[in-house]
Structure 1
Amino acid sequence: MSAPAARPLRLGAIGTSSIAWRRVLPTVARMPEWELVAVAGRTPKKAARFAEHFGCAAEDDPGALLDRSDVDAVYVSAPTSLHRHWAERALLAGKHVLVEKPVGVDATEARGLCALAAERGLTLRENFMFLHHPQHAGVRELVAGGRLGRLASFSAAFCIPPLPEDDIRYAAALGGGALLDVGVYPLRAAVLQLGPDLDVAGATLRTRVSDGLDLSGQVLLASPSGVLAELAFGFEHTYASTYTMWGDRARLTVTRAFTPPASHQPLLVIEEQDREERRTLPAADQLALLLQEFASAVRAGGGAVGQHTDSIAMLELVDAVRTTARRIPVR
């Protein structure tokens, strides 16, 4: 006789963001591992809209949601400047936490949250979906197997066109700016593929004259093994979501690195001096894989300190970019 299936984990959502509405909560709603029980936003009106759409309860404020005994874990999609605040409140309330990337605005916030989660034996995850897509493990296998030869450089870009003028990502006080929104993707990819011990060798940020908000930038990193990484990001470009690893035998490009749709079959392009190989990989739903891993970690009672280490390392790089970058004012 088979064992009864475990009951779904009960999720509360803090934040009524676009990513919650379009991607995360619809995926939660169709997964047997999860049950969305309540949502709270900046206003009761927004929470009520989400609750009606997703068939859950609405709370007037996030504090009331954290007081609920029927919430096992909390998804935080508040503005970036409030990630640390609400993730910390949730951990102190005994809830496991999935927080939108990045986990905080700097490494100090990341260290504090990771230490609190470890102290309380709770699971803390960043919603970096791309880390869970199998294509990146495939890249690591090719590199480790010597397919590229001796690795010399890594390049990555995540860029999007200009946003509507009232977009929250243009609000400096709320943790806006290209570095914390899209820049963290190539930085996190560099940590994933090259390891956490990276140094910022140089950086440039294009910043808005009116308030100093960073609109785009480029970063040069160096790894202990001598591999150089060149990263680009911003709100001023046509769309790009890619990275390339280049060795003395071949160069490998991930053509849709960060935001592939669930139905997309990834394409890896391997270039040598006299030939090109194009590998099409199976499609994968990276968000569903992340939510499955989060559920497994919650049931296991925490763990994955390595993910904490990489989250902190990435925000240490963000801090170093801010400190060392040459700023180019733009109107």
Structure 2
Amino acid sequence: MSEPVRVGVIGCADIAVRRMLPGFAADADVEIVAIASRSLEKAERVAERFGGRAVRGYAELLDLEEVDAVYVPLPAALHDRWAEAALDVGKHVLAEKPLTTNATRTGQLLDLARDRGLALMENVMFVHHPRHEAVRRMVADGAIGELRALHAAFTVPTLPDTDIRHRPELGGGALADVGLYPLRAALHFLGPDLEVVGAELTRGRGREVETSGAVLLRTGEGGTAQITFGMEHQYLSRYELWGSAGRITVDRAFTPPADFVPVIELDGGGGREEIRLAPHDQVAATIAAFVASVRAGAAPAEETLRQACLLDDVRKWAV
């Protein structure tokens, strides 16, 4: 039996406390050994709940020999600095999305991880939920004929004015925070040869970052993807796959709770059908994927880099 992966957490962000630390604590293949914050008192409060040693300062955590891998839930603009620092001292990295704020830095870090024989993984959790693999199998089996188009949306209610996602210097904005999900869904189902052929990013009144947007993409074979996103909207998390002989709809697609019963709606030649799957914890699935990558000394990188390139292309189109 393999030893647990010894994880240190760089920062006590909400997603770390609410989702990832409970997931780490519940996984027998993970041991939480250290939690760092700029405030020792905050690190101590979090460590008291989840275990591990409280550390003041992120660099101090990286100095700990007992840490095999780090989880980085800092604001987006800080990911590349601390991911690179961790890789430089031989530690595997799971970083919140987006991995960095541009494709050049993403490529550099992925190259560094590969050269060091380390796992560098971006925390896009929905791709680890088995519902989406089930959808891919249905498409491959011809359930909707030839896949022609994807329509996807992820929108969330208005965030507080103080939320870091409103701050451009921290890498805020709707594109990287919520737009990344439907964009990744397009990559997941239509493949890496997608190109951006139109984009619009819109700022809400008084905001310094985009708060909504829409993107049109196409494949070399004529498939299309239309994605919509925003963080001043009613909640919506959905994609549809349109084929020559039917349609697949997936609701609550990107952030389902662990006890949610996943449904795949199929409208085809035989009428409408609801396919219900067993509930699945995509946080636990993501952690399991990271543990496997750590033990293999590498993590899948192609979609992470292609996603970063497409995010850059959207920004260029929308200027």
Equivalent runs, 1:241-320 vs 2, <5 Å = 241-272=237-268, 275-302=271-298, 304=299, 307-320=300-313
Which residues of structure 2 form unaligned runs of 5+? none
SS at match of 2:278: coil
SS at match of 2:301: helix
Residue 24 of structure 1 corresponds to: 20
Identity score, percent? 47
Deviation track 1:82-114 (CA, whole Å, cap 9, x = no partner) reads 011111000001000000011111101110110
- What residue identity is the alignment partner of 2:231? F
Between 226-235 and 200-209, the greater mean CA deviation after superposition: 200-209
Residue 152 of structure 2 corresponds to: 156
**How many angstroms does 1:263 deviate by?**
1.0
Between 250-259 and 39-48, the greater mean CA deviation after superposition: 39-48
Equivalent runs, 1:171-210 vs 2, <5 Å = 171-208=167-204, 210=206
SS at match of 1:214: coil
Q: Which of 127, 140, 153 lines up with 1:131 in the alignment? A: 127
Between 50-59 and 257-266, the greater mean CA deviation after superposition: 50-59
What is the Cα-based RMSD across aligned positions, in Å? 1.3
Contact 1:153 1:245 (8 Å CA) reproduced? yes
Q: Which of 71, 88, 91 lines up with 1:92 in the alignment? A: 88
Q: Which of 190, 202, 222 lines up with 2:218 in the alignment? A: 222
SS at match of 1:323: helix
SS at match of 2:212: strand
SS at match of 1:163: coil
TM-score normalised by the chain length of structure 1: 0.94
Contact 2:166 2:207 (8 Å CA) reproduced? no
Distance in 2, matches of 1:211 and 1:291, equals 35
Between 29-38 and 263-272, the greater mean CA deviation after superposition: 263-272
Establish whether residue 52 from structure 1 lines up as the match of residue 48 from structure 2: yes
SS at match of 1:104: coil
- What residue identity is the alignment partner of 1:315? A
Establish whether residue 145 from structure 1 lines up as the match of residue 141 from structure 2: yes
- What residue identity is the alignment partner of 1:240? L
Residue 316 of structure 2 corresponds to: 323
**How many angstroms does 1:265 deviate by?**
1.3
Distance in 1, matches of 2:46 and 2:102, equals 30
Contact 2:10 2:71 (8 Å CA) reproduced? yes
TM-score normalised by the chain length of structure 2: 0.97
Distance in 2, matches of 1:311 and 1:32, equals 27
SS at match of 2:211: strand
Question: Aligned pairs, how many?
Answer: 319
Distance in 1, matches of 2:135 and 2:207, equals 40
Establish whether residue 233 from structure 1 lines up as the match of residue 229 from structure 2: yes
Establish whether residue 121 from structure 1 lines up as the match of residue 124 from structure 2: no
Distance in 2, matches of 1:24 and 1:181, equals 17
- What residue identity is the alignment partner of 2:255? T
**How many angstroms does 1:55 deviate by?**
2.1
Contact 1:16 1:42 (8 Å CA) reproduced? no
- What residue identity is the alignment partner of 1:78? L
Distance in 2, matches of 1:253 and 1:208, equals 29
Distance in 2, matches of 1:188 and 1:15, equals 26
